[in-house]
Amino acid sequence: MSKISESEWIWRDGEFVPWKDATLHVLAHAVQFGSAVFEGIRCYNTPKGPAIFRLREHLRRMYNSCKIYRMDVPYTPDQLVEAARELVRRNKLEACYIRPMVLRGYGAAGMVPFESPVEVFLPCWPWGAYLGDDALEKGVDACVASWHRVAPNTIPAIAKIAGNYLNGQLIKMEALADGYEEAIALGPDGLVSEGSGQNVFVVADGAIYTPPIDGTLLPGITRDSVVTIAKDLGIATHVQPLAREVLYTCDELFLSGTASEITPVRSVDRLPVGTGKPGPVTRAIQKRFLDIVNGRVPDEHGWLTHVQ
C-alpha cells in the first residue's frame, strides 16, 4: 500500500502553487458529490530525460469524461500538455505519476452543479510499483470480486471520475481483506469486466483476449497499448465477452493499467493460472511495454512526450 509522497509544486488553473496550498473547501461539489474527473499518467525516466507516456490520449479521455458530465474545461489540450511538461521540470522529478483533475469547486448547495466553478489541477509525485515490487516479476494472486461493476446506462464507466471509484474501493478492499492482492470484477451480466483499476487480458493458445468496451469498464490507455504491441509482435488479439471460468482455464492472465503497468496474475481464487508463473506471451508483451516506456527501443508509435 502506498502513501502520497509530496512534491513541491502543483499546477492550479494556470499557475504553480506550493503543494500544501492546493486545497479545496469542505463543501466543494466534488467532495459532496464525487464530481472530480481525473487521469493517472506515468512519466518515465528515459535516456533522453523524463518522458510522459501517452499524455495526449490521457487528456483526450479526460476531456471526454468532462463532456459526459457537462464540464467545460477552460484550457486547450496544448495548454495542458505544456503545463504537464513544466510541472515535471519544476518538481525536478525523473519518474513520477501525474494526476490531472478537473473538478467542481465550492458554490452549488445541492446536486445541480452549475453554481460551482470548474477547477483544474495538475499534481504529480513519485510512485513506484502499484501492486508491490515483486508484482511485475512474479505476478499477483487475484480473486473474483463479489461486487459487480456498474451496469451500462447507470454511471458511465468510460468516464474516469471520482464517484466511480467507490465501486473500485469495495472491490479492492474485499480482495485485500481476503488476502489477495487484486480482484477481477464481473459485469452485471456475470461476464468478466475489469480489475479494480486495471483491464484484464486472458491468453489462450498463444492469442490474447480482452472484454469489449461494453459500458461496464474503463477503456484503458494501457489496454490500447497492449493491443498495439500484440499486433507488432504478431500476437492475435480478440476483443470478445469472456465467461468467468475462462479465468481458471486460460494459459496466462495479466492486468494492464497505468499504475500496474503489465502485471501477471498467477492465481485466481487460489487456482493457479497455467503453470502458476508468468507465461511467455505475458512476458513478451510486458518486456516490449517496459522497453518502450523507458525509452530503450525507438518510440515508433509516438507515445512519449519528452519533458525537456
Catalytic residues: 160
CA–CA distance, 130 with 213 (Å, rounded to integer) = 24
- In Å, how far are 46, 113, 163, 234, 260 from 197, measured between CA atoms? 25, 27, 14, 27, 8
Q: Which three cell numbers stand for residue 256?
A: 494492464
For position 215 contacting ligand PMP by CB under 6 A, the verdict is: no
Should residue 93 be labelled a site residue for ligand PMP when binding is judged by CB under 6 A?
no
Sole window of 63-71, 214-222, 235-243, 284-292 interacting with ligand PMP (rule: CB under 6 A): 214-222
Would you count residue 152 as binding ligand PMP (CB under 6 A)? no
Indicate whether 211 belongs to the interface with ligand PMP (CB under 6 A). Answer: no
| Range 248-277, binding ligand PMP (CB under 6 A) | 256-258
Positive or negative torsion for Cα 257, 259, 264, 265: negative
E strand or H helix that includes residue 154: none
| Beta carbon of residue 120, minimum distance to ligand PMP (angstroms, whole number) | 18
Q: How far apart are CA 146 and CA 261, in angstroms?
A: 24
Query: Can residue 216 be called a binding residue for ligand PMP (CB under 6 A)?
Result: no
Q: For ligand PMP, which stretch binds (CB under 6 A), given 8-16, 17-25, 100-108, 213-221? A: 213-221
d(CA 214, CA 197): 16
How near is the Cβ of 184 to ligand PMP at its closest, in Å?
11
Strands 182-186 and 140-144: parallel
Using CB under 6 A, pick the residue from 222, 267, 286, 305 that binds ligand PMP. 222
For the purposes of burial, counting CB atoms within 10 Å of the CB of 112, is it exposed (0-12), middle (13-18) or buried (19 or more)?
A: exposed
Closer to ligand PMP by Cβ: residue 9 or 201? 201
Q: Is 34 in the site for ligand PMP (CB under 6 A)?
A: no
Count CB-CB contacts under 10 A for residue 94.
13
Burial 287-304 (b: 16+ CB within 10 A, else e): ebbeebbbbeeebeeebb
CB of 10 to ligand PMP, least distance (A): 20
Task: Assess 50 for contact with ligand PMP (CB under 6 A).
Answer: no
Number of residues that bind ligand PMP (CB under 6 A): 14
Interacting span for ligand PMP (CB under 6 A) from 23-31, 43-51, 170-178, 194-202: 194-202
37 binds ligand PMP (CB under 6 A): no
Residue 197 in contact with residue 135, Cβ under 8 Å? no
Q: Which is nearer to ligand PMP, 65 or 116 (CB)?
A: 65
Q: Least distance (Å) from ligand PMP to the CB of residue 196?
A: 7
H/E run at residue 48: none
Is residue 283 within 8 Å of residue 229, measured between CB atoms? no
Of 17 and 155, CB closest to ligand PMP: 155
Interface ranges with ligand PMP (CB under 6 A):
40, 168, 194, 197-199, 218, 220-223, 256-258
